[in-house]
Amino acid sequence: MDYSISRCRDNPGQCFISRDSDKINIMKPLHLNDQGLQALKDSHPELIIHDRIDLAIDELFDIDYPAQKDTKTGADLERYKKDLLNGTTEDQWGEWVYYPWLNQAVHFPPKEKLRALRTSRNRNLVTSEEQADLYEATILIIGMSVGSNIVEALVSQGIGGKLVLVDMDSIEPSNLNRIRSPYHQVGLHKVEAISRKVWEIDPFITIVGHRQGLSEQNIDEILGQNQPDIIVDEMDELRMKILLRETAKQLKLPVVMAADDGDNALLDIERYDLDAELKPFNGRIPERVLEQIKNQSISRPKLGMMIGKYFVGAENIPLRMYQSLGEVGKTLPSWPQLGGAATLSGVSIAYIVKKILLGHKLQTGRVLVSLDEKLDLEHLEPAHQEQLAKFQAMLEGQEP
């Protein structure tokens, strides 16, 4: 079997759906047996081999026999290894995975053992039964800027055995304050960059990538074919946000969303799975405004005002953000966004997803996770509050 990178060009059906140019094709990681690994070594003398399966076995002993973690002997470990390998050699145990974009072959433990290792420190904050339920979930994430932080937070906690990633853009240099990618990935499609990162952590996670973004033409296909348990909305296009919620309501699927808000995170939890009468955005946005957006009958300046007034909320915008909005298109190319807020959004959404999947009681609607309110003393000073109140009154007084 040919494991060279040309295999992707010659057999596009075996490639990930990624194409940045006519010259670049990206494969999924390839799972290899002994023969496949040897064939790869023969065809790629420059192949990088990473094999620390010994460390994995050592930690699996600690997981199975925690009381002996600090007292185990070499003989204890050898007996454990013999039982674990069950007649195979270390080289044959587990799986070898080839990453063509790294030209690296990595020796992994079997799927269930890898997941035991990755989530060992979750116990007992998450029970074994809960962890198994979290692995079974399918999560749809639309928008890979703030969304990339959500994917990382989910994967690090073992949430989502299947991820459906949707975006239409490639990484730009200015994205790197929110997408934790190396600079050499500038120009790479966001879906591909995030998929690579996930697979390098856990090659057993199923990823379905959609590089064209969400549209009226593919929304039914994406939701129907993948049947997600939860939808995470991190896209910018307002009309599609509305259509997404209408479809989610029909399918009785929960929708969660986070917006970076200065240093803070603005969260929305919409439980269409629990409330058949729930209105989009928990009824926070007037229907006439939603119809105007759906009909695309709004000028760009008014659209910006609507985002601030209805989607974000005048009361939630930090003072420096208010002061910056008037500079967009003058001294600023776009509205400001901070990487810390994107990270906070990722952690918050992963928490919400976990609670929903496990059936825990959870607050719904709009929630502001504000570091400013908890930590910034200047935020409480009268002069700061007076300036903020002026901007809020100005925005509240405007009508589309």
Q: pLDDT tens digits for 17-31?
A: 333 332 233 468 999
Rounded distance between C-alpha atoms, residue 150 and residue 341, angstroms = 12
| pLDDT value at residue 96 | 96
- Residue reference for tokens 């930090």: 318
Instruction: Decide: helix, strand or coil at residue 393.
Output: helix
| pLDDT value at residue 333 | 87
Residue 277 pLDDT > 60: yes
Residue 103 pLDDT > 90: yes
Q: Delimit the domains of the chain by residue range.
A: 6-122, 128-396
CATH architecture of 128-396: 3-Layer(aba) Sandwich (3.40)
Residue 287 pLDDT > 70: yes
What integer is the mean pLDDT of 107-116?
A: 97
H or E element in which residue 200 lies: helix 190-201
> What are 241-267's pLDDT values in tens digits?
999 999 999 999 999 999 999 999 999
| pLDDT value at residue 394 | 85
Residue 145 pLDDT > 80: yes
| Alpha carbon distances (Å) from 55 to 90, 113, 381 | 12, 13, 53
Q: Are 398 and 325 in contact (CB under 8 A)?
A: no
| pLDDT value at residue 400 | 54
> What are 307-330's pLDDT values in tens digits?
888 888 888 889 998 888 778 888
For residues 14 and 240, the model is more confident at 240
Query: In percent, how much of the chain has pLDDT > 70?
Result: 92
What integer is the mean pLDDT of 122-151?
A: 97
Residue type, 320: R
What's the whole-number average pLDDT of the chain? 90
Question: E-assigned strands of 100-161?
Answer: 104-108, 138-142
Residue 303 pLDDT > 90: no
Q: Are 275 and 348 in contact (CB under 8 A)?
A: no
Residue 146 pLDDT > 90: yes
**Res. 46 pLDDT band, cuts 50 70 90:** very high
Contacts of 277-282 spanning 24+ positions with Cβ under 8 A: 278/249, 280/242, 280/245, 280/246, 280/249, 281/245, 281/311, 282/364, 282/365, 282/366
| pLDDT value at residue 156 | 97
What integer is the mean pLDDT of 109-135?
A: 96
Rounded distance between C-alpha atoms, residue 345 and residue 146, angstroms = 7
Residue 399 pLDDT > 70: no
The first and second tokens of residue 158, run together, are 């073992």
Neighbour tally for 69: CB within 10 Å: 12
Look up the pTM and report it: 0.91
> What are 192-219's pLDDT values in tens digits?
999 999 999 999 999 999 999 999 999 9
> What are 358-393's pLDDT values in tens digits?
999 999 999 999 999 999 999 889 999 999 999 888
Neighbour tally for 217: CB within 10 Å: 8
